[in-house]
Chains A and B, each alone.
Chain A
Amino acid sequence: MVSHDSHAHAAPQGFIRKYIFSLDHKVIGLQYFFLALVAVFAGIFLSLLMRIHLVWPTASLPFFGEIKPETYLSLLTMHGTIMVFFVLTTAPQGGFGNYFLPIQLGAPDMAFPVLNMLSFWTTFLGFLVLVAAFFVTGGAPLHGWTGYAPLSALPSAGPGEGLGADLWIISIAIFCIGALMGALNFITTTLDMRAKGMTLMRMPLTCWAWFVTAILGLLAFGVLLSAGILLLMDRNLGTSFFVPLVTVNGVLTGHKGGSPLLWQHLFWFFGHPEVYIAILPAMGLCSQLLSVFSRKPIFGYRAMVYAILAIGFLGFMVWGHHMFMSGMSPYTAFAFSIMTMGIGVPSAIKTFNWLGTLWGGKIRFSSPMLFAIGFVSLFVVGGISGPFLAQPVLDIYLHETYFVIAHFHLIMGVASIFGIFAATYYWFPKMFGRMMNEPLAKTHFWLTFVGAYAIFMPMHYYGMAGGLRRYSQGTEVGWIHKLAPIQQFITFAAFITIASQFIFVFNLFWSMKKGEKAADNPWEATTLEWTTATPPPHDNFGGITPVVHNGPYEYSVPGAPRDFVMQTDAPVAARH
């Protein structure tokens, strides 16, 4: 019997309801995905301009002409904001999470389809507002993606700090509202919409990751939204939440009594969990892929779940490690430092378990698996620099150097993006009914993997030698000027790596039209999305309500007819 609960809705008619203002989580997932695709190329373009400027400061560049110091700062501000919000938060959670969470749970849709539609369009609006900052008088803000007050609070503090900065804050506030709606939907769907037999401990690790990410989002984006509103009031209504008595060029600003550190506390209370919002979905997915393509159960499923929960929990107690040099009490630095080192433990557990999953496997090197293995490698190298920065004694030297840039780009940027690539190659057949071209995918992997290391490894050395971030030129400081060859190498590496991303884009669109037709379960995987048609019908399972009997990672079960047992297959009797 077909069960229609209150969440199911009829398949929409007409182009607009079907593809634009769609209530279908799959369409919304794709909308998020394509928004992130546009955003990531915008973000890459900005970084390319920055890289060129650092090496050839007088070069004339498209749209911006010869880049002035303040333009360089605008580029880095917008690069960071676009990448963190509209790529790393948007694609893994909004995109793939939206598309696959309900299907992997065995649900016909998200819990609140209308809210889901609204959350996408809110996010989209946020993106438009952000991009608009480039086109107003004064241009985009120069205060960095962290927007430290008073620089971000005073229109007189620099070019771009006028209307551009207001738009930047409004964009982030809009994004927060969209993210909050999304988070509510993810949490409710996970708790209420699971198919019969889909106990929490039978959920794929992807679902655990999306679920915990949504909880982080719910707690973090609310705080950022409030902070943004306060900052907007400081700028426009004469309040002084973040601004003490200051002068700019000897002119009193009229503010007094505010605390610049308050902004940093509020920002990083969001900002640190944000790192995990970006990386957790990639961790969940790569756990999944290592199991699928090693043809082995995930090593330590329970430990993986606990590690995700521990990371989510501890993620809210470490924000002060961004503020060791801020003037915050040195005693609190001690506490934040211990908690931060502590969060390395669940991260290490996950790495051990990934290696344990490969151990004794029968590895198939399809493109999603290559990106998953690449993810582990990048996660390790990006993670290992964490314990340096987590210790205040070493942070005295390393804070604000390129060592930090290397650290967070590898772990939060590149590793997460490897998760996004892996997800794209893995789920493309389900989403579009065709396979992506495998030789192109492998070429893309090798160039990107080596390229990412070539860009970001040298940044550690640059930082070790004292090279500072957010410097439009290194010529003014003797010890930084000497490091110019490293910057040249990085820029050349970036050219090649960026160019190779066009292989991915070509493959993506070419395969949509010309790719080999995909079977329903091309990777011989076990989770629910592979039990249904390709692409899935409007209600995901074509009127059938799936019933789950098995855990998500039953590969190479002794005595089973195939080397994988679907979650809906008859129960695997022997478990150890």
Chain B
Amino acid sequence: MGLALLLVIWLITLIGSYFIIAKTWWLPVGASAAAAGIDHHFTTTFILMGAVFIAAQLALGWFSWKYRDRGAGSGPAQYSHGSTKLEMVWTILTMILFIGLNLASESIWATERFETAKPGAVQVEVTGMQFAWYFRYPGPDGKFGATKPELEDASLGGAGALGLDPTDPAAKDDVITGTMVVPVNREIEVILRSHDVIHSFFVPAMRFKQDAVPGLAIHMHFTPIETGEFEIACAELCGLGHYKMHGIVKVVSDEEFSQWLAAREAEKQ
């Protein structure tokens, strides 16, 4: 029975680790400035925690076999209540490991979340509602027009869905789209809002996730470094259509972005 435990535990450990080491299923290729640092810390954590995982499982399997009851002829079990010295050693070691690992990643967190977007960042307001994302650009005046909850009508789409107040001069040039278009290598300031329940704006390739909370305007930022189309999914349970609250971030060159925005402005005239 001890041998069976050893074999099964070791085999599970081997198979479990294989798929991680082989990266059979892994994060998508990073497409934002933050991705490299985050992925590096992922790898560090995997190596350290993986070593602990494998060591603990190997020891568990090995001890189960080695210290099995070998019948009446064998000697008694060791009579020991433990060792204070060993307790101190592994307490301090794990403390250094866990706290150290954590501190190593805090500078990335600080860059992502303590710092605000720099002046000149491209502003995009992202609004979640059951079950769609809307994206709004402030237009040439650089100001978002006022919105009013009582004006909201999702069936109108666009400005109507957001409840944009047509009497506000700042609202006149606001561009509202169903696809998020952003320029590459520029910092994007995202202003997250929700109309109804909590949603979460998740773009795996950008290593970006943040809840959109009704009543709050949450300011975040990221810098795409690859052009292409990247999928968005809602990552907070928001109701029966949660699984299909899907969208696209289209990252284009700076020129294409300016042309695209100008064309949208022209459509409004």
Give A contacts to B, CB under 8 Å: 68-70, 73, 142-144, 148, 150-151, 154, 157-159, 243-250, 252, 258-261, 294-301, 303, 325-327, 330-331, 333-334, 337-338, 341-342, 344-345, 348-349, 351-353, 355-356, 358-365, 370, 373, 376-377, 380-381, 384-385, 387-388, 390-394, 396-397, 399-401, 442, 446, 449-450, 453, 457, 460-462, 464-466, 468, 470-474, 476-480, 483, 486, 553, 555-558, 563, 575-576
Q: Does B263 contact A (CB under 8 A)?
A: no
Least distance between A400 CB and chain B CB atoms (Å): 4
Measured in the bound complex, the distance between the Cα atoms of B197 and A365 in whole Å is 52
The reply to whether A563 and B215 contact each other, CB–CB distance below 8 Å, is no
Is B260 among interface residues, defined by CB-CB distance under 8 A?
Answer: no
The 3 closest A-B pairs by CB, nearest first: A244-B215, A360-B78, A330-B113
Binds A, one of B83-91, B165-173, B176-184, B250-258: B83-91
**Does the CB pair B197–A154 fall under 8 Å?**
yes
User: How distant is the Cα of A553 from the Cα of B82 in the complex, in angstroms?
Assistant: 12
Minimal Cβ-Cβ distance residue in A for B49: A384
Please name the residue on chain B nearest to A366 by beta carbon: B1
Contact of B27 with A465 in the complex, beta carbons under 8 Å: yes
Cα distance A476–B247 in the bound complex, in angstroms: 10
A337, B77: Cβ atoms closer than 8 Å: no
Interchain CA distance A245-B215 in the complex, whole Å: 7
Interface: B52 (CB within 8 A):
yes
B204 touches A377 (CB 8 A): no
CB closest residue in chain B, given A559:
B79
User: A150-B197, A385-B49, A477-B231 given. 10 additional CB < 8 A pairs?
Assistant: A260-B214, A330-B113, A351-B56, A361-B77, A373-B60, A376-B60, A377-B9, A394-B45, A400-B202, A476-B246
Report chain A residues within 8 Å CB of B113: 330, 333, 392
Cβ-closest chain A residue relative to B41: A393
Q: Which of A297, A301, A325, A356 contacts B86, CB < 8 Å? A: A356
B259 close to chain A: CB less than 8 A: no
Report the minimal beta-carbon distance from A97 to chain B, rounded to whole angstroms: 26
Chain A proximity mask over B1-37: 1 for CB below 8 Å, otherwise 0 = 1101100110010011001100011111000000001
Asked whether A250 lies within 8 Å of B214 as measured between CB atoms, the reply is: no
Are B101's CB and A391's CB within 8 A?
A: yes
A543 CB, min distance to chain B CBs, angstroms: 34
Chain B's closest residue to A253 (CB) is B196
Residue ranges of B at the interface with A (Cβ–Cβ < 8 Å): 1-2, 4-5, 8-9, 12, 15-16, 19-20, 24-28, 37-38, 41-42, 45, 49-50, 52-53, 56-57, 59-60, 63-64, 67-70, 74, 76-84, 86-87, 90-91, 94-95, 98-99, 101-102, 105-106, 108-110, 112-114, 130, 149-150, 152-155, 161, 163, 194-198, 200, 202, 204, 207-211, 213-216, 218, 231, 233, 235-244, 246
Does B213 contact A260, Cβ atoms closer than 8 Å? yes
Pairwise interchain contact B74-A362, C-beta atoms closer than 8 A: yes
Cβ contact within 8 Å between A355 and B49: no
Distance, CA A205 to CA B74, complexed state (A): 29
Nearest CB on B from A295, distance (A)? 4
Q: Are A450 and B12 in contact (CB under 8 A)?
A: yes
Which residue of chain B is the closest to A480 with respect to CB atoms? Answer: B233
- Provide the residues of chain A in CB contact with B244, threshold 8 Å: 473, 476
A361 to B70, CA, bound (A): 11
CB-based contact B114/A327 at 8 Å: no
Q: Which of A159, A245, A250, A370 is the one whose CB lies under 8 Å from B153?
A: A250
Expressed in whole angstroms, the minimum distance between the Cβ of A102 and any Cβ of chain B is 27
* A to B CB contacts below 8 Å, 11 in the list: A154-B196, A246-B197, A295-B76, A298-B82, A301-B82, A352-B87, A364-B69, A466-B27, A470-B237, A477-B233, A558-B79
Q: Are A556 and B77 in contact (CB under 8 A)?
A: yes
Given contact pairs A355-B60, A394-B41, A461-B19, A245 touches B149 in the complex (Cβ within 8 A) = yes
Q: Give Cα A396–Cα B1 distance, bound, in whole angstroms.
A: 43
- With A297-B80, A384-B52 already in contact, the answer to whether A330 and B114 are too (CB < 8 A) is yes
Task: Quote the shortest CB–CB distance from A554 to chain B (angstroms).
Answer: 9
Question: Which of A69, A247, A349, A394 is in CB contact (< 8 Å) with B243?
Answer: A69
- Are A341 and B99 CB-contacts (below 8 A) given A384-B52, A556-B76? yes
A462 and B102 form a contact (CB under 8 A): no
Assembly CA distance A139 to B218 (angstroms): 34
With known contacts A331-B114, A363-B2, A468-B233, A393–B243 Cβ distance under 8 A: no
* Cα of A260 to Cα of B215 in the assembled complex, Å: 8
| B79 x A381 contact (CB < 8 A) | no
Q: Are B25 and A462 in contact (CB under 8 A)?
A: yes
Q: How far is the CA of A576 from the CA of B4 in the complex (A)?
A: 35
Q: What is the CA–CA distance of A6 and B198 in the complex, to the nearest angstrom?
A: 54
Pick the residue among B8, B19, B42 that contacts A394 (CB under 8 A). Answer: B42
B197:A151 contact, CB within 8 angstroms:
yes
Q: How many Å lie between the Cα of A150 and that of B212 in the bound state?
A: 12
- Point out the residue from A250, A326, A399, A471 that lies within 8 Å of B242, measured CB to CB: A471
When chains A and B are docked, how far (Å) is the Cα of A557 from the Cα of B78?
A: 9
Is A246 within 8 A of B81, CB to CB? no
> A249 is contacted by which of B108, B130, B209 (Cβ under 8 Å)?
B130
CA distance A478 to B244 in the complex (A): 11
Out of A249, A297, A345, A401, which one reaches B79, CB within 8 Å? Answer: A297
Q: Are A479 and B198 in contact (CB under 8 A)?
A: no
Q: Are B76 and A362 in contact (CB under 8 A)?
A: yes
Q: Of B4, B80, B211, which one neighbours A326 at CB under 8 angstroms?
A: B211
